[in-house]
Structure 1
Amino acid sequence: MDQKYRNSNYSTGKDCQDVIDENKPLYIFYSSVVGLEFVLGLLLNITVIHVFIFKLKFWKSKTIYIFLFNLVLADILLLIGLPVKAYNFQQCSENKVVCKVQLFLQFLNRGASIAFLTVVSIYRYYSVVHPEKRNVLRILNRSPQISVLIWVLLGILTIPAMMQSFINCNSNETDELTTAVILREIVFFTQIFIPFFVLVYCSLRIINRLKQTTVGDKTKLKRAMILVTGVVLVFALCFLPYAFTRAVHLQRIGNVMPEEKRTVGKLYDGFVCLSYLNCLLDPILYCLSSTKFKKLYVSIYFPSRVEKEPTETSEENS
């Protein structure tokens, strides 16, 4: 890469701190939002994991509970890095080791969260739309093996985030477009857009099947439709604005207009904050996935909201 490109497009830590100082109220707001997401998300996910381990005993339960447990584990591990992110919104970090570790956790666990959300939706789709495809369901029922495979694969794909500084360490600092950076971005966009299209497809097929069904498993289909639609909405709210702004931000690496780059960087930082919201929304999806989980969670943490009705004697079959 030629020297002119390096000099005109690489921002130093001082430039990053200047942007924060010039927009201090905005970045204090961003930091506060991330801090609030950390506190609420950690408390909420701890209560969820308590239900999975001590009440549901997920390892003895159905396939979907193992996937959901891995999803809550991914959310908790993602939350661990949020205090560093909140600090970086007020003070540009010069500790590259801490930065790389935080980014590794961010990429690994956001990727895991997306992967397990997708697997849960695919499992529900095949269970209610194609129950006759036993070979596919037999594979999906191997949830422990699939879960280990997802974590290992994502760990390998996330290693490049540890090898150098990264555009999101402080969004006003940019990497050179090396091969490693390009490969990293391909992985990032692939793990968001491909699952999103898969989820939209599953949602549309379930809705279509629901319209064609007049008797039988109509209630089960409705529950599956609500779950998959909920996952699509979480994606659309938390990940798509973040991904699109990231694409614009990367495109601005080759732009020599610093003010425009800074404006895009501030918008990008805002959508980064929004992307962490999935750690608060995922527990709603657990309730949509399982009426048993919902009843247990409400009875433990909100006993006053328990309906005075006879409890259901059976849980959904999937």
Structure 2
Amino acid sequence: MAWTVALSNLVLAVFGFTLITGLPANLLAFYTFFQKVRQRCTPMDVLLLSLTISDLIFLFFLPFRMVEAANMKWTLPYFLCPLSGFIFYSTIYNSTFHLTAISVERYLGVAFPIKYKLKRNPRNAVIASVIFWLLSMAHCSIVYIIQYYDISNPNYTSPYKRDTCYEEFSKEQLDILLPVRLELFAVLFLIPFLICCFCYIRFIHILSNLPNINAKKRYRAIGMALGTLLVFIVCFLPYNVSHVVGYVANRSPDWRVYALLTSTFNACLDPFIFYFSSSALRGTFKNILQKLSRQLFQPCCRSALYCPLLNCLSTEEKTPSTTDSSL
């Protein structure tokens, strides 16, 4: 891949947008799910917390890639190259596992509500999350293997003398890397995607046929299901298709960098899935909005006489609604 000014600006724009929007949203989600797990833990809360931690780790390492894009070459200490790549790819595939597990959890809860409720255990979600982390990291350790493979060959340029990161592979490296990428496509993307499609299609079908469920809850659950499938298609499909194309063409496609950009959007799209999946996150988000609205209006309104909106807000706080009194 040859860096250009246009490509550098595009990468910086996508990474910057992901970092600015994804970091505060995931920090809010982390705080919410951490408090929820401490108080009353459910398998869904464990999965959402683990996925949030994965997204936060991804976002914390994203600035290293932004520095590379800004300089249009790798200028940081070289040990950060395989480390940032390892984290970058591992968290992407870790997300596919967690989103699939969430789809299974949702489907079983709707298809077998009583039977599954009696057997669900947060400990199983913890074990599953650990397995997801280990599988994704084990597969993506190929980044370290390839970066230092054949380093003793006299015709091979040492990575420490290069200004590129995880690029310019030799034929010997591609012979190892391309089959592994094909396995990543099959094991870490295709199988989870098919499971996710089955679970959410059945989930939507069952919800559509339930007569007594609240319409708002039904639409919110269907939105969560469609949003997850959209994340798979938009964020993960292009990049994983490049694995298949590269294996068939026996080379690393030049457009992989563009396909990889869509994968970064996952870190800022996941919080929207969290919003539909967790009532606790929706409550935290609404509380923050209310506090922000009060702070914004108070400096402008020194008294309720000159601020009808603040007067209305204070009246609502003093007067309990019928909904609150019924609870």
| TM-score normalized by the length of structure 2 | 0.74
Equivalent residues in 2 for 1:138-217 (5 A)? 138=120, 142-165=124-147, 169-170=165-166, 173=169, 176-179=173-176, 181-215=178-212
Q: Cα distance, 1:180 vs. partner? A: 5.5
Is the contact between residue 19 and residue 62 of structure 2 (CA under 8 Å) also seen in structure 1? yes
Decide which of 96, 101, 104 is 1:122's aligned counterpart: 104
Give the corresponding residue for 1:45: 26
Give the corresponding residue for 1:33: 14
Equivalent residues in 2 for 1:168-317 (5 A)? 169-170=165-166, 173=169, 176-179=173-176, 181-215=178-212, 222-254=219-251, 264-265=253-254, 267-303=255-291, 310=323
Q: Cα distance, 1:61 vs. partner? A: 2.5
| 2:51 equivalent to 1:71 | yes
In 2, the alpha carbon distance for the partners of 1:68 and 1:25 equals 36
In 2, the alpha carbon distance for the partners of 1:136 and 1:179 equals 46
Q: Cα distance, 1:24 vs. partner? A: 1.4
Q: Cα distance, 1:91 vs. partner? A: 2.4
The answer to which of 125-134 and 137-146 deviates more is 137-146
Q: Cα distance, 1:240 vs. partner? A: 0.9
Amino acid at match of 1:199: C
1:130-175 Cα offsets, whole Å, 9 max, x none, are: 2254399536762222222222233323322221229x94556566
1:43-102 Cα offsets, whole Å, 9 max, x none, are: 221222122234x34563222111100010000111122122223334232765322111
The answer to which of 64-73 and 287-296 deviates more is 287-296
The answer to which of 63-72 and 127-136 deviates more is 127-136
In 2, the alpha carbon distance for the partners of 1:105 and 1:181 equals 19
In 1, the alpha carbon distance for the partners of 2:131 and 2:228 equals 22
Amino acid at match of 1:161: V
Give the corresponding residue for 1:9: none
Is the contact between residue 171 and residue 268 of structure 1 (CA under 8 Å) also seen in structure 2? no
Is the contact between residue 287 and residue 293 of structure 1 (CA under 8 Å) also seen in structure 2? yes
In 2, the alpha carbon distance for the partners of 1:109 and 1:313 equals 44
Is the contact between residue 15 and residue 62 of structure 2 (CA under 8 Å) also seen in structure 1? yes
Task: Name the SS of the counterpart of 1:215 in structure 2.
Answer: coil
Is the contact between residue 182 and residue 247 of structure 2 (CA under 8 Å) also seen in structure 1? no
* Residue segments in structure 2 that go unaligned for 5+ positions in a row: 149-163, 295-312
- The count of aligned residue pairs is 284
**Alpha-carbon distance change, 217 to 156 in structure 1, aligned in 2, over 3 angstroms:** same
Amino acid at match of 2:175: T
Is the contact between residue 29 and residue 271 of structure 2 (CA under 8 Å) also seen in structure 1? yes
Is the contact between residue 70 and residue 147 of structure 1 (CA under 8 Å) also seen in structure 2? yes
Is the contact between residue 121 and residue 202 of structure 1 (CA under 8 Å) also seen in structure 2? yes
In 2, the alpha carbon distance for the partners of 1:128 and 1:160 equals 39
Is the contact between residue 99 and residue 169 of structure 1 (CA under 8 Å) also seen in structure 2? yes
Q: Cα distance, 1:42 vs. partner? A: 1.9
Amino acid at match of 1:193: L
* Residue segments in structure 1 that go unaligned for 5+ positions in a row: 1-15, 255-260
Is the contact between residue 123 and residue 140 of structure 1 (CA under 8 Å) also seen in structure 2? no
Is the contact between residue 210 and residue 218 of structure 1 (CA under 8 Å) also seen in structure 2? no
In 1, the alpha carbon distance for the partners of 2:325 and 2:87 equals 40
1:99-122 Cα offsets, whole Å, 9 max, x none, are: 211111012211211111111111
From the CA coordinates, give the structure whose radius of gyration is larger: 2
Q: Cα distance, 1:293 vs. partner? A: 1.8
Is the contact between residue 48 and residue 274 of structure 2 (CA under 8 Å) also seen in structure 1? yes
Decide which of 72, 83, 106 is 1:101's aligned counterpart: 83
**Alpha-carbon distance change, 143 to 298 in structure 1, aligned in 2, over 3 angstroms:** same
